[in-house]
């Protein structure tokens, strides 16, 4: 009667990985140096666009944070002058002296913890391998901050 022809398409994984979306190629787990994968123009565009987006967001969040901190400080000053808040200045002075002593103690060693040093080394290696991408990001970041 109505026999249906069941045909299946075979998916060639090698061909599939060649035609992956661009974002999977950029953010692949085995990313390595972008200098080995992309030409200079592509690196500049990727760095510039991500830098601009980061700078633009940083500018907007920075303005919001500055407004919140400034407004809070303004409200605290009003509350202090109208008598709603009383500040124990002796306690403030004592806490400041403790903080100064702790800062002197921690800064006297001048040694960076090993986990921080290893992260800094990783960042420096990445920046050296991807100079063009980093330059594009820095330029885009400055343009994003200016816009």
Considering the domain boundaries, does residue 12 fall inside one? no
Residues 6+ apart with CB under 8 A from 38: 46
Distance CA 46, CA 27 (A): 12
Q: pLDDT at position 54, please?
A: 92
Q: pLDDT at position 46, please?
A: 87
Considering the domain boundaries, does residue 50 fall inside one? yes
pLDDT along the chain (147 residues), means of 10: 62 62 58 65 87 92 92 90 86 92 69 77 85 87 88
Per the structure, the complete domain to which residue 124 belongs is given by 38-146
Q: pLDDT at position 120, please?
A: 85
Considering the domain boundaries, does residue 20 fall inside one? no
Number of separate domains in the chain? 1
Counting Cβ atoms within 10 Å, is residue 43 exposed (0-12), middle (13-18) or buried (19+)? buried
pTM, whole model, 2 decimals? 0.49
Q: pLDDT at position 90, please?
A: 92
**Alpha-carbon distance values, 22 to 11, 67, 126, 136 (Å):** 20, 39, 21, 19
Cβ atoms < 10 Å from Cβ of 45: 14
Considering the domain boundaries, does residue 25 fall inside one? no
Considering the domain boundaries, does residue 43 fall inside one? yes
Q: pLDDT at position 95, please?
A: 94
Q: pLDDT at position 41, please?
A: 83
Considering the domain boundaries, does residue 79 fall inside one? yes
Q: pLDDT at position 133, please?
A: 84
Considering the domain boundaries, does residue 101 fall inside one? yes
Considering the domain boundaries, does residue 65 fall inside one? yes
């Amino acid at each position: 009667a109505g026999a249906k022809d069941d045909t299946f398409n075979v998916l060639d994984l090698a061909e599939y990985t060649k035609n992956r979306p661009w974002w999977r190629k950029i953010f692949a787990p085995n990313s390595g140096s972008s200098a080995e994968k992309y030409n200079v123009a592509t690196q500049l565009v990727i760095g510039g666009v991500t830098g601009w987006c980061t700078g633009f967001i940083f500018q907007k969040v920075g303005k919001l944070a500055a407004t919140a901190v400034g407004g809070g400080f303004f409200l605290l000053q009003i509350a202090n002058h109208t008598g709603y808040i009383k500040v124990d200045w002796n306690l403030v002075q004592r806490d400041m002296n403790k903080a100064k002593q702790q800062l002197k103690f921690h800064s006297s060693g001048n040694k960076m913890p090993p986990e921080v040093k290893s992260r800094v080394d990783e960042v420096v290696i990445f920046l050296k391998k991807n100079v063009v991408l980093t330059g594009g990001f820095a330029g885009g970041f400055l343009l994003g901050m200016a816009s």
